[in-house]
Amino acid sequence: MGPEAGNFDRCKQKRGANNNMSYLLVIPGAISVLALISAYAFNRSVVRHPQGTDRMKELQGHIRAGAFTFMLEEARVMAITVLLIGGLLWILFYWEVAVAFWLGSFLSMAAGFIGMNAATHANARTTEGARKSFKDALAVAFSGGSVMGLSVAGLAVAGLVLVFIMFHWLYDPATLHIQTRHLFGIQGAAVNLIKGALVISAYSMGASLVALFDRVGGGIYTKAADTAADLVGKIEMHIPEDDPRNPATIADNVGDNVGDVGGLGADLLESFVGAIISVIVMSLYLYVGRNNPQMKNIVNTLGISGGLNPSTYWWLLISPLVIVGGGTFSSWLAILYIRFTGKASNVEGILMRGTRIAAVLTAVATFLFCWFSPLNLNIFYEVLLGLIAGVAIGFFSEYYTSTTYKPTRELSKINQDGPGISVAEGMALGMLSTFWPVLILAAATIGAYLFGNLLGVAFTAMGMLSFVAMTVSVDTYGPIADNAGGIATMAELPPEVRERTDKLDAIGNTTAAIGKGFAIGSAAFATLGLIASYMWSAIGKATAVLPPQLPIVGQIAPNLSPNGHPIAVGAYVLAGLIVGAMVPYVFSALLIRGVSHTAGLLVEEIRRQFKANPKIMSGEEQADFNRCISITAHGGLHKMMLPAGIAVATPFIIGLIFGRYALGGFLVGGLLSAIQLAIFCGNAGGAMDNAKKYIEEGNFGGKGSEAHEASIVGDTVGDPLKDTVGPSLDILIKLMSVIALVFASLFPIFPRWGI
Amino acid sequence: MGPEAGNFDRCKQKRGANNNMSYLLVIPGAISVLALISAYAFNRSVVRHPQGTDRMKELQGHIRAGAFTFMLEEARVMAITVLLIGGLLWILFYWEVAVAFWLGSFLSMAAGFIGMNAATHANARTTEGARKSFKDALAVAFSGGSVMGLSVAGLAVAGLVLVFIMFHWLYDPATLHIQTRHLFGIQGAAVNLIKGALVISAYSMGASLVALFDRVGGGIYTKAADTAADLVGKIEMHIPEDDPRNPATIADNVGDNVGDVGGLGADLLESFVGAIISVIVMSLYLYVGRNNPQMKNIVNTLGISGGLNPSTYWWLLISPLVIVGGGTFSSWLAILYIRFTGKASNVEGILMRGTRIAAVLTAVATFLFCWFSPLNLNIFYEVLLGLIAGVAIGFFSEYYTSTTYKPTRELSKINQDGPGISVAEGMALGMLSTFWPVLILAAATIGAYLFGNLLGVAFTAMGMLSFVAMTVSVDTYGPIADNAGGIATMAELPPEVRERTDKLDAIGNTTAAIGKGFAIGSAAFATLGLIASYMWSAIGKATAVLPPQLPIVGQIAPNLSPNGHPIAVGAYVLAGLIVGAMVPYVFSALLIRGVSHTAGLLVEEIRRQFKANPKIMSGEEQADFNRCISITAHGGLHKMMLPAGIAVATPFIIGLIFGRYALGGFLVGGLLSAIQLAIFCGNAGGAMDNAKKYIEEGNFGGKGSEAHEASIVGDTVGDPLKDTVGPSLDILIKLMSVIALVFASLFPIFPRWGI
């Protein structure tokens, strides 16, 4: 028996060996090692494939060099930021917090690098495979994607296991005691488990911060290069996509790797970690406050006879890692199935079946875990709800953006009426497409809540992401195929090679749409979980360390201050809501501007090169790729600073000046705006892109028609929305929430001034 | 002394004559009569001006006929809807509710008609004035605008005074007693004053419903005609704006009157009424619950010695009407100043000075009222805060959309990079422009709250709108000048006439930007007031008629149901927030589609006419204007049904299925999304429109250049955002909130099913 939560006397107790179920950590630990070894093996298998002709090798070399240069430069900026923030954490809190933060940052960076490395190995080799057969191309591309998928899941889980092992005393209920520290007049009182919650939150914050940099920097890079290459190449010079004469071609292909691969890897690692840690943080608070009546209600949903004790505590704490371990193992099996299945006739079918296998096995594994644990099946239902909601939201992303369905086909048709109406219609399509995903999110919120209160919401978020290894693998092979196509065109290989890679790419787009649904849905849920954790820790700890009535989201404003004076909390919450809802708009505006300003500089450079040296256009001399690469890289790095700064600074400013309630409102407001904007941007951009592709297939006049011209305008508008703004918004809200969670104790409860 | 609030026994008491200050109603009553008589006089003075040539008379006849046909057809649709909903209110509640609803609807319709009538009288006469001098043109146009401004304020105030007189027993604290009624198992228990709150809310609901129809129907009409006329006329046939050969020219000019004049009139009447009634509803609840500790805190902010009693009650209740009466009188003086000032050299200066005079006099009148009333100066500060915040938000609307400032000039420049990048930049500009207005709103919220809690927020909203007569007058003269320019071109008058009307129009745009700031700011504040009223009435009445702890916004979720069971209120509030934040997106999407689909049909018709009859292009035969008018009208009426239906139905559905807490979340979510979207749409559209105008003035290549082509695309995207979506969103959130307020008692407190 551990001490009661209400008892905050310094106390220590020998831990009862039979109570300690922390050995459960072996399961996720072993699975993460398996995933990382397999990723290494897949990478080796990719590298063993032939690279093709000298020209292909050369092109691959340029792309790899460009991608490495950019990501190393980005890493340098991140390293400085991360070092500084870690130092701040060390000074303000504890050394463990700083170490966990650095670990999270490092692993997130590693995920980006590993994925980008594998992708830039796989691209030319996929082209070479495509010279032989479609099946060979698929094998290389999918292996490359799997490296990323397995690394993301493996690194995230390994890191969390490592935090538990390194700082085991912080998570051991038998060592429950208070540490106090004073600094700058701020009193830091922490029960050990609560300090553990802070440490694991810092781990997540590190991962999120790096992911934001990767997504924003990479997103601006890739779309600026893409837009500029298209604007001058296709529209002004009338040369095809990926034409080797276009000075921005290499930059465009580098962009696929740093944005769509590196950015995506860091992004999904961050989502995955955020979803897991919000369960862990809540579990820690549940144990500490287990005698509080409201907390008891939540514990009751877990169906543990006798409530939380040091033994069932371990089951609860480690359950998220075991479940995502199960999901990772399931994904591993599904990846092997896809990789080594004999047929290559129906690739889309195989990929879909693989995804389904991973989802079903994850559900089975979760069921088995719940069955054998002292917990009831509610967690299983919550995870299942997450899986279903993720798939459903993914379906609607596909429905609104794929040319196999009505909305995008109609948008293609409307392109005949000119660019103005078609862009307006594309925006309308994006806005309309918020309907079903949001209803699904709302229904899943209610369902998850009924099963397990806010803890249920956190488990549902985790459920959506539990087989992330599979979704990332499938998501990543698309950009590899895209790059392979670029290399095929640039190396002037026979057209059937490009046809094969294009087919591969097209299938990737469909499966990627599902991945996007998961990303948005899980971001919303994980943020809810993080906000709930924030409210528990910020308001719960604040009003009187663990008060009888812990306020939760939606109930964030008692109208009296602790000393009984009437207080205008309502106003601060409202102001926080309104300001929070504004931040995603300003953030998005800065990203769009980052893309178009960088693209503008690049357009000038391309025009300059074509003008200065006519031999580039005639194909006699090579364009100066490197200048284009360095302009784009500079733009990406330069333009990511302000949006990233906003993401980090605003929760800080609101918290410091207006207090914890206002910050709670701010986070909820940000979440509400970001969900809608992310769906709107993702689907509007996706539909406009695919409407262009549909026209290029020969519909409504085909290439060169007026409809095609209009659709290119639509694509230019939609591209930054889809690939830069949408995914970055997902990270923004999680990062702001986790920053609030980590720094909560620094903020005053009410504004320092005035009433 | 009236009975105590907690005492709900049937009781009556002779009212003490010296306590009844209801004679204060004489002030707003007299001012509203003055405003209406002046409006009539201005209208007569407009009609007395000469109409000009036969061709001008003919054109004016066409425009008037088109506008009347559309507005009568729209009125028919509205009349049926309004009759049905009124009948429902009669059955569900009381006959007084239905009558007040009909009155509100009728006055809102009347405002639209009076304004449109005056504008279609003034347009050709302004042209005729412009043939003589700039000053004559200004006199007619501004007189036409003043008819609208004075009518809006006069009708709104007169209607409210009428409700108080007609149903005086509902507002008399001396007759405080309970009426009970059972219907469909719903128990309707109402203290008389609370019934009075319901009746006055129904009045506001009527005004809002009609305003939504007017704004959405008129907005689709005007932008569809504008877009189609431009697409075929300017881009395909290369004929100038308002060319008489263009079959859609008359429809375009009709649109200015039904959308920018009729829609605007109903819209601002609705905002004005909404802001006033949220103060009145709160005042009624404050009196009824005056012994409740939380309510007492709010009453304390009014500084009445001895608290609320039947005498001070009257001062509080009638204060909003007296204050807006003062605002209307101040506007009347300012209008007379502008109309009869001798100089015409610096029109912009005179208009601005007039607006400032109105604002300052309103503040002075409010100060004097507060000084002589038993209330302290807090109400004055709140009104002043509203005036300042409105002007500040207006300034930022102007800053982001006017070509005299950097943002729109830079956008013009970016048009040189082609339509794709320029539309993306226009969107970014709109998103970025949310920053300052939202910060001002948040600061004003906190300020208002500190002065007077949620009642302060309502007074601040009312403050922003208190001199609405002035802002509407200035807003309306712009479209009149626009129409006058159209008639000048169509009647082939000498170019200096068009130059004069264009100058008039350009000045109108600047002053209109300020009006837009007021519209958005006041919509946000009035909605907050309405939501607060909803929470007081829905949750306050629900949990136990007027419980000691009335929950308010921001504190909407006790975690226990009345019978003590744990309940997932948090989940319903969250789900409500998420779904509420989605509705403005879907609503906006439907409006954009309404515009582009209607424009698409119209484009086909114009092309058909040019093709079928080549004599139209050569000017030998007149185009078939009426077909274009009827297609546009049909589109406007047809496409307004679904968005209007969504606005009415969604609060109903959420309330009925998920209960009152979920509906509270829904309204807050809707408000948050709508504020951002409305600012984004308004400023993005305004900037793209003005960027085009700036290029047409000869910058960056001028007319016919590539930048100009790109800016036309931007304008096509921006037009529906600015003139259809933005203003309609303002009404949407108020209408949803007032519907919730009226129907609250029908909804279950918690969902009927489940936990």
Beta bridge partners of A190: A179
Query: How many CA atoms lie within 13 Å of A284's alpha carbon, on the beta-carbon side?
Result: 27
Q: Are A123 and A487 in contact (CB under 8 A)?
A: yes
B4-11: average pLDDT: 37
CB contact under 8 A, A427 and B592: yes
The partner residue sitting opposite B596, judged by closest CB among A425, A588, A669, is A425
Residue B683 has pLDDT above 90, yes or no: yes
Helices (H), A232-292: 249-255, 264-288
Q: Are A145 and A475 in contact (CB under 8 A)?
A: yes
Q: Which residue of B has its CA nearest to A424?
A: B717
Residue B333 has pLDDT above 90, yes or no: yes
Closest CA to B49 of B152, B148, B142: B142
Chain A hits for B425, Cβ within 8 Å? 592-593, 596
Q: Locate A145 and state its tokens.
A: 């994607």
Q: Locate B297 and state its tokens.
A: 């805190």
Cα–Cα dist A201/A207, whole Å: 10
Best of B230, B416, B445 to disrupt the A interface (most A CBs within 10 Å) is B445
CB contact under 8 A, A446 and B575: yes
Closest CA to B748 of B634, B612, B652, B639: B652
B548-557: average pLDDT: 30
A725-751 CB burial, b ≥16 within 10 A, e <16: bbbbbbbbbbbbbbbbbbbbbbbebbb
Cα–Cα dist B97/B102, whole Å: 9
Structure-token match 């009538």, residue found: B117
Please report the pLDDT score of residue A15 as a whole number.
41
Size of chain A in residues: 755
Q: Which residue of B has its CA nearest to A575?
A: B442
Best of B450, B525, B583, B713 to disrupt the A interface (most A CBs within 10 Å) is B713
Beta bridge partners of B187: B182
Name every residue whose Cβ is closer than 8 Å to that of residue A604 and which is 6 or more positions away in sequence.
none
The partner residue sitting opposite B425, judged by closest CB among A434, A571, A596, is A596
Q: Locate A55 and state its tokens.
A: 């020209």
Cα–Cα dist A85/A98, whole Å: 8
Beta bridge partners of B178: B191
Please report the pLDDT score of residue B155 as a whole number.
96
Q: Are A200 and A318 in contact (CB under 8 A)?
A: no
The partner residue sitting opposite B578, judged by closest CB among A592, A669, A672, is A672
Please report the pLDDT score of residue B554 as a whole number.
28
**Phi, psi of A182, deg, nearest 5:** -115, 140
Name every residue whose Cβ is closer than 8 Å to that of residue A5 and which is 6 or more positions away in sequence.
A287, A288, A289, A290, A291, A292, A546
Q: Locate A436 and state its tokens.
A: 């079903």
Chain A hits for B553, Cβ within 8 Å? 570, 574
CB contact under 8 A, A575 and B429: no
Residue B179 has pLDDT above 60, yes or no: no
Positive or negative CA dihedral for A292, A293, A299, A305? positive
Cα–Cα dist B678/B147, whole Å: 27
CA triple B269-B271-B274, angle to 5 deg: 105
Q: Are A298 and A357 in contact (CB under 8 A)?
A: no
**Mean model confidence pLDDT for chain B:** 85
CB contact under 8 A, A716 and B420: yes
Query: How many CA atoms lie within 13 Å of A576's alpha carbon, on the beta-carbon side?
Result: 31
Name every residue whose Cβ is closer than 8 Å to that of residue B309 and which is 6 or more positions away in sequence.
B1, B2, B19
ipTM: 0.90
CA triple A308-A310-A311, angle to 5 deg: 90
Q: Report chain B's C-alpha Rg in angstroms.
A: 26
Beta bridge partners of B182: B187
Interval B370-419: pLDDT, tens: 999 888 899 999 999 999 998 899 889 889 988 889 999 999 999 988 89
CB contact under 8 A, A669 and B669: no
Closest CA to A518 of A751, A331, A696, A715: A331
The partner residue sitting opposite A552, judged by closest CB among B425, B438, B570, is B570
CA triple B84-B89-B95, angle to 5 deg: 110
Please report the pLDDT score of residue A735 as a whole number.
95
Cα–Cα dist A621/A614, whole Å: 9
Q: How far apart are the first and last CA of chain B?
A: 44
Please report the pLDDT score of residue A515 as a whole number.
75
- Run of H or E including B187: strand B186-191
- pLDDT bin (cut points 50, 70, 90) of residue B221 is very high
Cα–Cα dist B570/B557, whole Å: 6
Beta bridge partners of B560: B566
The partner residue sitting opposite A434, judged by closest CB among B434, B585, B713, is B585
Cα–Cα dist B282/B317, whole Å: 9
What is residue A705's DSSP assignment? S
CA distance B412 to chain A (A): 14
Closest CA to A741 of A540, A593, A442, A515: A540
Please report the pLDDT score of residue A684 as a whole number.
94
Closest CA to A643 of A577, A593, A680: A593
Angstrom CA distances, A49 to A117, A125, A142, A562, A744, stand at 15, 6, 13, 68, 51
Name every residue whose Cβ is closer than 8 Å to that of residue B636 and which is 6 or more positions away in sequence.
B70, B74, B217, B218, B220, B221, B224, B258, B594, B598
Residue B555 has pLDDT above 50, yes or no: no
Cα-to-chain-centroid distance, residue A6: 38
CB contact under 8 A, B421 and A446: no
Beta bridge partners of A186: A183
B25-33: average pLDDT: 95
CA distance B288 to chain A (A): 20
Q: E strands within B505-572?
A: none
Please report the pLDDT score of residue B546 as a whole number.
35
Positive or negative CA dihedral for B300, B302, B304, B310? negative
Structure-token match 């009223």, residue found: B533
Residue B342 has pLDDT above 80, yes or no: no
CA distance B541 to chain A (A): 19
Q: Are A343 and A333 in contact (CB under 8 A)?
A: no
Give the A:B interface size as CB pairs under 8 Å. Answer: 277
Q: Considering only the C-alpha atoms of chain A, give the largest distance between any 2 of them, rounded to a whole number of Å.
A: 82
Cα–Cα dist B699/A334, whole Å: 60
β-bridge pairing B186-191 and B178-183: antiparallel
Cα–Cα dist A202/A71, whole Å: 23
CA triple B635-B640-B643, angle to 5 deg: 140
Please report the pLDDT score of residue A334 as a whole number.
95
Percentage with pLDDT > 70 across chain B: 89
Best of A672, A688, A732, A752 to disrupt the B interface (most B CBs within 10 Å) is A672
Beta bridge partners of A189: A180
Cα–Cα dist B168/B65, whole Å: 42
Positive or negative CA dihedral for B432, B434, B437, B442? negative
Chain A hits for B675, Cβ within 8 Å? 578, 581
Q: Which residue of B has its CA nearest to A596?
A: B421
Quickly count helices (H) and strands (E) in chain A. 24, 2
Interval B200-214: pLDDT, tens: 999 999 999 999 999
| Dihedral Cα B461, B465, B467, B469, nearest 10 deg | -160
Best of A385, A393, A417 to disrupt the B interface (most B CBs within 10 Å) is A417
Closest CA to A324 of A144, A473, A476, A461: A461
Q: Are A568 and B457 in contact (CB under 8 A)?
A: no
Neighbouring C-beta atoms of residue B620, cutoff 10 Å = 10
Interval B582-633: pLDDT, tens: 999 999 999 999 999 999 999 999 999 998 988 888 888 888 888 999 999 9
Q: Locate B102 and state its tokens.
A: 């009909």
Cα–Cα dist A245/A723, whole Å: 26
CB contact under 8 A, A431 and B585: yes
Report residues of chain A scoring pLDDT below 70. 1-21, 175-191, 292-294, 342-344, 539-569, 752-755
Q: Locate A542 and state its tokens.
A: 């604040």
Q: Which residue of B has its CA nearest to A457?
A: B571
- pLDDT bin (cut points 50, 70, 90) of residue B539 is low
Q: Which residue of B has its CA nearest to A450?
A: B568
Q: Locate A391 and state its tokens.
A: 């798939």
Chain A hits for B582, Cβ within 8 Å? 434-435, 438-439, 676
**Phi, psi of B187, deg, nearest 5:** -95, 125
